[in-house]
Structure 1
Amino acid sequence: MSNLLATGSSALLAFQRALSTVSHNVANINTPGYSRQRAEFAAREGSNYGYGHVGSGVSVVDIHRMADSLATSRLLDSTGELNRLQQLSVSSSRLDSMFSDKATGISAPWSAFFDSVSGLSSSAAGAADRQSVLAQANALVTRFNQMDQQLDKLDGEVNSGLTANVSEVNRLTKEIAAINGRIGNNAANASGDLLDRRDQLISELVGYTGGTAIQQDGGQMNVFTAGGQPLVVGTAYSSLVTVADPYRPERLQVALETNGQRVTLDKRAMGGQIGGLMEFRSNVLDPAIAELGRVAMSLAETFNSQHRAGMDQYGQMGADFYTAPQPTISHNAANTGNAVLTPTLGDLSALNASNVVLRFDGTNWVGNDPNTGASVAVTGTGTAADPLVVNGVELVLSSDTPATNDRFLLQPTAGAAGTIKVAISDPGRVAAATPVKGNTALTNSGTGKLGTVSVSDASNADLLTPSTIAFTGPNTYTVDGAGPYTYTPGQTITANGWSVTLDGAPAAGDSFSVGPTGANSSDNGNAKLLANLDDLRALNGGTLTLNGAISGLTTTIGSAARQADYAAEAQQVIQDQVQAARDSISGVNLDEEAADLMRLQQAYQAASQIIATADTLFQSLLNATGR
């Protein structure tokens, strides 16, 4: 009878614990990272009564945590990659919106400016048209400046994101290491809830840094970044810190501190949100800043060059229309020498927007791409007579001597969009006219006629000096008495920085004069040339127009945003799949739990009947013996 009571009691206790486990599962259905638990039953060893063994009930031998290490590992890998791509997609989409929206992009004010210059070419003497050119030019440089400021703000947001994420990483690594300490070397005896908590923290950590988690013998977990740097090893943990960029102190980098050592990490060493921020900065934001600066620098250089070849309403040669931005260079904070390099724009057609790290190896200067490490060609010695030439930029070593391994970061165009300005404010200073014009002598007997006089060298000191072309015969001519020169019909005659082509056949004694256009001219020759500069093939070795550069910039940013978005969507599908695989093993299913609840409830009630039966038998025995 006592055996019957003990058996019923063991069943009641076992089913009660099993019911508590099911209830615990249901209660944690919405708990992130929770793995369902299952009570494992085992029969108690029975007693041998000679005729056989009689069972003595049941006991719960384990509360089993339903988890699969492979599914968890796959989920970690996917989580880090998803967070990286989502961060990259969100940031890239913001940049794309800025460039593609007419209200914030560069295309609308760019077109409006060149439209105003085209209008001036139709009415060079009109004061309103000149004022419109200046107004649209100021609107254009304002947009350049605003976009550069917005890009700087995005760069600042990357700094803020890195700082916030580093703080979260340090919190998580510390807590994971503490849980490792609580688990010790026997994870089999650890609470399932504690193991779930650790897995959830690791998942959050990998979401920030990317990487993997590896279980040690005994059960402690080690966590590494995407680049293999240790974040948590047993009960020890490393810290992430933000440090100033050695070339640009306003920009933050991420470094790993462990055992007193500090190692700066690049985008290849980090995944997750931090990796996404770093990848956005280096692969999308920096190229956008640099290319926008190249467009601004190219506009200033080409427009100024042509504007200086024209004449304003005061009869003076045109000055710079824009303040021309120049390349910038920064020294590494670890440099030991005192060398100063001064950069200037050299060959616009060779200008490359990519940054270059220049290093002095003790004898020569060598260049490398800071992102890939690829070599960049460097020529020259750095003197004023023989400057260093890197991607169209000329650099002069203006003072002191570099030390071996001193480094400098050359930014050919970054920031140029923020410094471009309109250099003139007087509409009369717009150089719309060709500075020289030609006249045909009324006494000429031949059929020769002067074509349009054009400027071939605006810097020639004698450009505005009156000149006379005199034909000493149908095939010979002099210029201001110099010559005679052989003349071939249709050839270009050049002198004093101007050139002209004659139509027809000049006769001996014919003469033509070339002189300054003069003040208040309605000539529009230079305005026509200025209006077509947006289609000038000035970039990439003479293969790319300024319009093409703007279109290419907008297209490149849009393409980067779309690719990041597509990749994030694809990774989300993978994440959903691996999450479903994990949930099929570890997730709580209410239907299954309800079925278990009913089954255990019935078993518990049946066990109660066993005790009730034992009690009835005991009472019958008492009644029988008490008579």
Structure 2
Amino acid sequence: MSSFNLLSIGTQALQSNTSALSVVGQNIANVNTPGYSMQRPDLVSREGLGGVQVRDVQRMANELLTSQIMSDTSAYNSALAFEQLASQLDNMLASDVSSVSKAMDDYFGALQGAVDDPSNLANRELFLAQTDALVRRFQDLDASLARQGDTINGQIQNSVAQVNSIAQSLAQINDQVRLATASGASTNELLDERDRLMESLAGYIGFTSVPQANGEMSIFVGNGEPLVVGNSANQLVMVQDSMDASQRNIALQVGSNVGDITGQISGGQIGGLLEYRTDVLYQTQDEMGRLAMVFASSMNAQQLQGLDLDGNAGQRLFADINDSLLSASRVLADSGNASSVTSRVDIVDAGALKASAYELVFNTDSSFTLTRLSDGVRWNSNQLTSAADATGVDANQEFYFDAASGSLTLQVDGFRLDLDSSERFLKGDKFEIQPTRSGASDFGLELSSGRGLALADSAGGVSNNRNALAMSDLQFATLVDGSTYQDQYGRQLEHVGSLTATAQITTQSSKAVLDANQQTKSSISGVNLDEEAAKLVQFQQAYQASARLISVSQTIFDSLLAVV
């Protein structure tokens, strides 16, 4: 081997070990940088005894593990958002200061005082005061549930803003990666930053990612809706639900097209919030509404059978659940046909009500499908019994439909729906029916004086307590889905408690899995200072030896010249 080759090898070695020392220095400098992946120089021998070269600087990252961590992050944040809200609701239902069950205990306790001495006006006024307290308890609980809905809307809005910001950053990094890849420059730091942003994105919303040949990463949400493609980022936007003005949905804006993707979203904080809103919040509002409506209906029915302290026929104790304004508010029409339709839902059998909303969709201008949203049970119009006219609709699963005039009357699950359109119904017309959703907020006290309590029956004089006893016995009647008032409240409390406990377990297990995978990733990609110190010594000694090799080659060359 000539001294020239020896000089070349030494020079190559010197340059390669200088590069290797730079990589070690980069690792040490970024030991505390979030998301930084350790790098290693890939040293390879040059062919034909040509020395060594750095072929590449490898980024020590496991793509499968990184993808799993994103999935785990999405699952954990979804479970956490759900669990936090469920815990709030569980405490709300169980606490004595907000529990409807406790207020019912006080109500029936005061009623017992009126039973013991029905002519005592003080006992009557005390019972009326406890009745008012029960009404306020229902209303306060409903208001708290509504505030949870507002909180969810606010949290979703904040999360949407974060998603849009991250998506824009990812689009910019895509462009930088594409340019760096095309020019042959290193993309390691850019890929680290992209992974960090994607992990952050997973905390807000579930997504799928598809790597491209040019180094870019495409991000899709929902059922394959494009959030980030190349250097372009589409925007999530908050939109008002087409039927329920109080509900905020999520849409993806692609150019001038805005499409609602609320039902497609899962994972991340947004997914957890949406799941809680649909499966717990709305269900609890429906259940509390049904309980209030059954309570008001049954108590009113008994009150109307008695005589008050002045010998007059009893008047309603609670507000009429079929007040015209309340009945009209129970149907929500799609914004496209809301102005042309008048509607109402009347409760014909409170005991048959289900704690659910319903969706009515016209399949054609002469057929429709009704779906009970709580369990997915559906009825097509050809599965229901058709009546000769609207007045003939008086039994469960009966209907009358005049397609020409745009008139529909339908009875199912204890309520009667009446829809009248100024035009024919068209395919795609959609309505949401909420028989019980506002029942708790609509629960109201109508009687203003204890003298008006109809505690006596109609044959035994105004001082007897027979009707009061009948009202008191309603405490033990199975009027709500086969349960008493308080047992049904207890069932709902147990249901929410079970959901909360499950959510807590899910959150803990998701966190444990996430932590374990992050520790595994850290062992692969994280910078170990002890290891870097050893590498620093290793490459420093190799650098010094390379320099010595150059010195030896120079000495040999000088010796050869002296001989000549």
Which TM-score band (shorter chain)?
0.7 to 0.9
Equivalent position SS for 2:366: coil
3-state DSSP of counterpart to 2:343: strand
- How far is 1:270 from its partner? 3.1
Name the structure 2 match of 1:494.
none
| Greater share of residues in strand | 1
Residue number in structure 2 paired with 1:475: none
The aligned amino acid for 1:116 is A
Match in the other structure for 2:449: 426
Please provide the CA RMSD for this pair: 2.9
| Structure 1 CA distance for aligned equivalents of residues 35 and 517 of structure 2 | 13
Contact 1:346–1:393 (CA under 8 A) maintained in structure 2? yes
The reply on whether 1:38 has 2:61 as its aligned counterpart is no
Give the alignment partner of residue 77 of structure 1, picking from 71, 79, 90.
71
SS in 2 for 1:323: coil
Cα distance between partner residues in 2 of 1:302 and 1:594: 80
1:562 corresponds to which of 478, 498, 501? 501
Cα distance change of structure 1 residues 294 and 371 upon mapping to structure 2, 3 Å threshold = closer
Letter of the 1:599 partner, please give it: Q
Flag the 1:577–1:113 CA change in 2: closer, same or farther, 3 A.
Answer: same
Deviation at 1:87, TM superposition (A): 1.5
Normalising by structure 2, report the TM-score: 0.86
The 8 Å contact of residues 339 and 402 in structure 1, kept in 2 or not, is answered as: no
1:548 paired to 2:542: no
1:276 CA displacement: 1.1
| Alignment correspondent of 1:388 | 410
| Higher RCO by CA contacts (8 Å cutoff, separation 6 or greater) | 2
Which residue identity is paired with 1:89? Answer: E
CA contact (8 A) 2:75 2:510 kept: yes
Q: Measured at CA, do residues 116 and 598 of structure 1 come closer, stay the same or move farther in structure 2, by a change above 3 Å?
A: farther
Q: Distance in 1 between matches of 2:224 and 2:557?
A: 72
Counting only pairs closer than 5 Å after superposition, residues 430-449 of structure 1 correspond to structure 2 as 430-437=453-460
- Within 5 Å, give how 1:357-506 maps onto structure 2: 357-360=359-362, 361-370=364-373, 374-376=377-379, 383-384=390-391, 386=393, 387-397=409-419, 400-405=422-427, 406-437=429-460
1:244 corresponds to: 240
Q: Which amino acid aligns with 2:160?
A: V
Deviation at 1:42, TM superposition (A): 3.0
The aligned counterpart of 1:529 is 470
> 8 Å contact 2:456–2:468 — kept in the other structure?
yes
For residues 474-506 of structure 1, the C-alpha deviation after alignment (integer angstroms, 9 at most, x for no partner) is xxxxxxxxxxxxxxxxxxxxxxxxxxxxxxxxx
> Take 1:136 and 1:170, find their aligned partners in 2: how far apart are those partners?
51
The corresponding residue for 2:270 is 274
Q: Does 1:573 align with 2:512?
A: yes
Distance in 1 (alpha carbons) for counterparts of 2:33 and 2:239 = 36
Alignment partners' CA distance in 2, 1:306 and 1:336: 38
Q: Residue 244 of structure 1: CA displacement?
A: 0.9
Quote the Cα distance in structure 2 between the aligned partners of 1:22 and 1:586: 14
1:287 aligns with 2:283: yes
Deviations 1:288-338, CA, capped at 9 Å, x for gaps: 111011111111111111111122111112111111345511111012772
Structure-2 separation of matches of 1:102 and 1:17 = 70
Question: Which residue of structure 2 lines up, in the alignment, with residue 508 of structure 1?
Answer: none
Q: Which residue of 2 aligns with 1:21?
A: 23
Is the partner of 1:544 in helix, strand or coil?
A: coil
1:31-62 deviation per Cα after TM superposition (whole angstroms, max 9, x unaligned): 3322111112234556xxxxxx5x5x543332
Structure 2 CA distance for partners of 1:569 and 1:533, relative to 1, 3 Å = same
* Partner-residue secondary structure (3-state), 1:63: strand
Checking the alignment, whether the CA contact within 8 Å between 1:106 and 1:144 is kept in structure 2 is yes
**More helix by percentage:** 2
Deviations 1:425-478 (A, max 9, x none): 2111122222212xxxxxxxxxxxxxxxxxxxxxxxxxxxxxxxxxxxxxxxxx
- Number of the residue aligned with 1:539: 480
Asked if the contact 1:297/1:324 (under 8 Å) is kept, the reply is no
Kindly indicate whether the alpha-carbon contact (under 8 Å) linking 2:39 and 2:58 is maintained by their aligned counterparts in 1: yes
**Secondary structure of 1:537's partner?**
coil
CA distance in 2: counterparts of 1:298 and 1:371, whole angstroms:
19
- Give the distance between the partners of 1:534 and 1:425, measured in 2 at CA: 23
The residue number in structure 2 matching 1:506 is: none
Q: Is the 8 A contact 1:211 1:226 kept in 2?
A: yes
- Equivalent runs, 1:298-377 vs 2, <5 Å: 298-325=294-321, 326=326, 328-335=330-337, 338-360=340-362, 361-370=364-373, 374-376=377-379
Contact 1:87 1:276 in 2 (8 A): yes
Q: How does 1:91-240 map to 2 (within 5 A)?
A: 91-184=85-178, 186=181, 189-240=185-236
Distance 1:620 1:235 in 2: 58
Are the counterparts in 2 of residues 79 and 206 from structure 1 also a CA contact under 8 Å? yes
1:611–1:102 CA distance, 2 compared to 1 (3 A): farther
Partner of 2:479: helix, strand, or coil?
A: strand
Matched residue of 2:204: which SS? helix
Between the aligned partners of 2:304 and 2:367, the Cα distance in structure 1 is 38
**Cα distance in 1 for residues equivalent to 2:154 and 2:282:** 17
Give the conservation status (yes or no) of the 8 Å contact 1:226–1:271.
no
Q: Distance in 2 between matches of 1:592 and 1:247?
A: 61
Q: Partners of 1:324 and 1:593 in 2: how far apart?
A: 78
Question: Which residue is equivalent to 1:598?
Answer: 537
1:9 and 1:159 map into 2 onto residues whose CA distance is 65
Q: Name the % identity.
A: 32
Give the corresponding residue for 1:479: none
Question: Residues 380 and 562 (structure 1 numbering): CA distance in 2 closer, same or farther, change over 3 Å?
Answer: farther
Q: Identify unmatched segments of 5+ residues in structure 2.
A: 394-408
Structure-2 change in CA distance of 1:68 and 1:189 (3 Å): farther
Structure 1 pair 28/106, CA: closer, same or farther in 2 (3 Å)?
farther
When the two structures are superposed, what TM-score results if normalisation uses the length of structure 1? 0.78
Aligned-partner Cα distance in 1 for 2:500–2:425: 42
User: CA–CA distance in 1 between the matches of 2:196 and 2:209?
Assistant: 12
Cα 1:168–1:234, aligned 2, differ >3 Å: closer, same or farther? same
CA distance in 2: counterparts of 1:65 and 1:229, whole angstroms? 30
For 2:340, what is the secondary structure of its paired residue?
Answer: coil
- Deviation string, structure 1 residues 356-377 (Cα, Å, up to 9, x no partner): 1123442355312357764147
Q: How far is 1:534 from its partner?
A: 2.4
Whole-Å separation in 1 of the counterparts to 2:198 and 2:376: 33
Helix, strand or coil at the partner of 1:287: helix
1:20 counterpart SS class = helix
Work out the CA distance in 1 between the residues paired with 2:94 and 2:311.
42
Structure 1: 5+ residue runs without aligned partners?
47-52, 438-516
